[in-house]
Structure 1
């Protein structure tokens, strides 16, 4: 096989990394240190031609293929064991059409890079509040952001895509050329091919009134209930994230909260600035920290820094989509938080608005009735599979199964096929038919995987064809 890889290198614009290459060890890693996989080869793609060449080699050698944009998915989908890894992170082109409000974006672009390019024209597309995350995986997994209550999911704003199919064909996918495949790309991940260009609808976003509100541990339960009740009445231009955690020593927090259990709200107002005080006032009572102020959207997207040495951090985060945050659910989650260690935290994020108003079944994202996502987080250093660290997060998502509509694809570390079915809900068989058409051998299986109609995929990623 080395001879075949040597021939591949000669045809690439990008770079081929085999295990003996000096950069291989660093290149095989993803953001979650729990994931320790060794691909047979890594292709650093620079062009659509590189993607085609790599996929054709994978087909000839019957190699599974992993795709990496930002490499941030908690399950480690940006790498694989013994397969071929297509690293798209060097494909960075961005073209903005401010008149038509469209952005054409290559798959290696991060959200920080895209926000900077779109904000130069006073525009944005809904995306995560983390500038280091790649646009590709986030979009294809549905894509929740603080602008989503106004403008829908990131995937709702995907107008078209250039797709390299598993056999190397380059296709333009839009509503006219292949509406069914566009439906699947809007929420069902990299199951159907390699997206080499995304075209997004953009929206005017000139600024935001936002910041941090924080309280000590004794106020966690009443503040969460207040935030829940506030969101139920808030306009779509308002959004919210709540973090229940052991606070790191962030410079904007008072020292009395450093390394202490606490709650932090990040409310946002995208409407007229002179209305912000009235809209956000119900949330502010008694806060020890209050930094709400007008700011640029790009600065807002950087409010929370990444953890130090995040590439060495072990992560088990899982997101569940909930219709409601009832008192019983909150009581059980907070009781679990109280008896857990400092490496366990909870994140509550606002949904609803335009997400819920989109027609059910209009995209592969299934759970539009959810008004909240709840992310249960275990993050630590040291032993990769420390059961003490893992236990609270696992217990938390299991507790939520009685009220969850289903998992969120972009925050799903568990690979059992039942969770893929739960993620895609009623669209499962329709997605299976698409998978059978585009990737019948399930070569693209390092994702929230959709098994072709004629096959079953085990939790280890191995395929059992019937």
Structure 2
């Protein structure tokens, strides 16, 4: 058997459909995706990764690379192909003196956050602790600390990578600098990341704020939230969002399970300072909420959703957020499935995100706001309703968009949206780098950037 030939070459494991662990190993955060790989190679180290990659290329098998499995497209699986499963490479080593963390390519953000917490250190990570480090980082990496410390990829010091040719390389500012630039948001198009080294920052405790109102009061609260963040310091982050009211331990009975508006603020400082910042919101007498100092790692896991729900997401950048945009935001929120885990988020950017404009492949980092339509529901019978809501909300906000998008948060929306995520110049540069490191387009599952075509000799 082909799978036995690969098993004999790996220190890790190879799973096929006949193994009892196969279905669990191919399970994704997005339960709407059902992809059946021929084999799943659970690699024990970088040599296994190289071996599995070579095996697939020699056998003509399509390849996908799996870390956290959170991507809404299901790009970490491939039908009838080989999945290189990185989850055994999850070690995290923290150097508290140098303020760095070296992280395996299969780690989740909870592994990083929990390893750094005892040292009072952190870097920008995903807003769900079960997100994979690799996918989030290579796609740019948006998180609560971004206004203070930049995107996740801004904090990269180096990446160890297996290239399409099976070479083990280290990319940094001094080694393969062009490849290193591409890994700052260019996605998983350039190789298999087996290890990351990140810069860390002093972050021990944060003040977390979640204020809730019934949805019909959301428009007024949204305006206050916008105005608060027009003057907020960089060490404040957060999001405004329409959502289903959380369970009663977090919300009064009249809001639990109902359509609500929430103001979520994360503040790198004590509670009294956070309260002064959000005073205009508190003046609106939110009937539900929480204000508390907590360890950063606890904040990171506070909003985790269970896997297996059906997902459809999209995202756009907004140049500004005038009253008319907030009116459209409020009106289009009405179509959201309630109750469900869906969220309709507006996230303030600026700060270190904007200061990093021009340093990475991502377009329009100067955008003032990012809108995320996060459709999450149960039951295939709700699929069309959930997807149509995402399409309608995108249309509603279109007058204020810049044209760019955060590719980590969108599904398969076509080549034009990939181009919009990078902009023409950055896309062309990525295509040239792709031609150098992956001329056969082996890595093509994450919002594909095809390699630049080389001239045919006369």
Mapping of 1:98-117 within 5 angstroms? 98-117=96-115
* Offset, 1:301: 1.6
Q: Compute the TM-score of the two structures, normalised by the length of structure 1.
A: 0.93
Contact 1:337 1:345 in 2 (8 A): no
Mapping of 1:115-194 within 5 angstroms? 115-194=113-192
Residues 340/267 of structure 1: CA separation in 2 closer, same or farther (3 Å cut): closer
In the aligned structure 1, how far is the partner of 2:305 from the partner of 2:146? 22
Q: Match of 1:300?
A: 299
* Offset, 1:304: 2.1
Q: Match of 1:460?
A: none
Q: Which runs of 5+ in 2 are unaligned?
A: none
Q: Match of 1:458?
A: none
Q: 1:12-35: per-residue Cα shift (whole Å, max 9, x none)?
A: 111001222222222222111111
Q: Match of 2:447?
A: 448
* Offset, 1:172: 1.0
Mapping of 1:424-439 within 5 angstroms? 424-425=422-423, 426-439=425-438
Q: Compute the TM-score of the two structures, normalised by the length of structure 2.
A: 0.94
Residues 192/218 of structure 1: CA separation in 2 closer, same or farther (3 Å cut): same
Contact 1:127 1:145 in 2 (8 A): yes
Which of 385, 401, 418 lines up with 2:398 in the alignment? 401
Is 2:329 aligned against 1:333? yes
Mapping of 1:309-458 within 5 angstroms? 310-311=307-308, 313-342=309-338, 343=340, 345-358=343-356, 360-383=357-380, 386-405=383-402, 406-425=404-423, 426-454=425-453
* Offset, 1:273: 5.0
Q: Match of 1:462?
A: none
2:301 aligns to what SS in structure 1? coil
In the aligned structure 2, how far is the partner of 1:414 from the partner of 1:404? 19
1:176 aligns to what SS in structure 2? coil
* Offset, 1:293: 2.0
2:427 aligns to what SS in structure 1? helix
In the aligned structure 2, how far is the partner of 1:440 from the partner of 1:320? 30
Which of 13, 21, 24 lines up with 1:23 in the alignment? 21
* Offset, 1:415: 4.3
1:120 aligns to what SS in structure 2? helix
Q: How many residue pairs end up in the alignment?
A: 449
Q: 1:60-97: per-residue Cα shift (whole Å, max 9, x none)?
A: 12222111110001111121112211111121111111
1:366 aligns to what SS in structure 2? coil
Residues 414/326 of structure 1: CA separation in 2 closer, same or farther (3 Å cut): farther
Residues 94/340 of structure 1: CA separation in 2 closer, same or farther (3 Å cut): closer
Contact 2:73 2:412 in 1 (8 A): yes
Q: 1:247-280: per-residue Cα shift (whole Å, max 9, x none)?
A: 2425211111012111111112103555233222
Q: Match of 1:12?
A: 10
* Offset, 1:56: 0.5
1:36 aligns to what SS in structure 2? coil
* Offset, 1:388: 2.1
Contact 2:337 2:377 in 1 (8 A): no
In the aligned structure 1, how far is the partner of 2:84 from the partner of 2:390? 31
In the aligned structure 1, how far is the partner of 2:230 from the partner of 2:411? 30
Contact 2:41 2:84 in 1 (8 A): yes
Residues 249/271 of structure 1: CA separation in 2 closer, same or farther (3 Å cut): closer
1:376 aligns to what SS in structure 2? strand
Q: Match of 1:202?
A: 200
1:79 aligns to what SS in structure 2? coil
Aligned-CA RMSD value: 1.7
Contact 1:34 1:385 in 2 (8 A): no
Contact 2:160 2:169 in 1 (8 A): yes
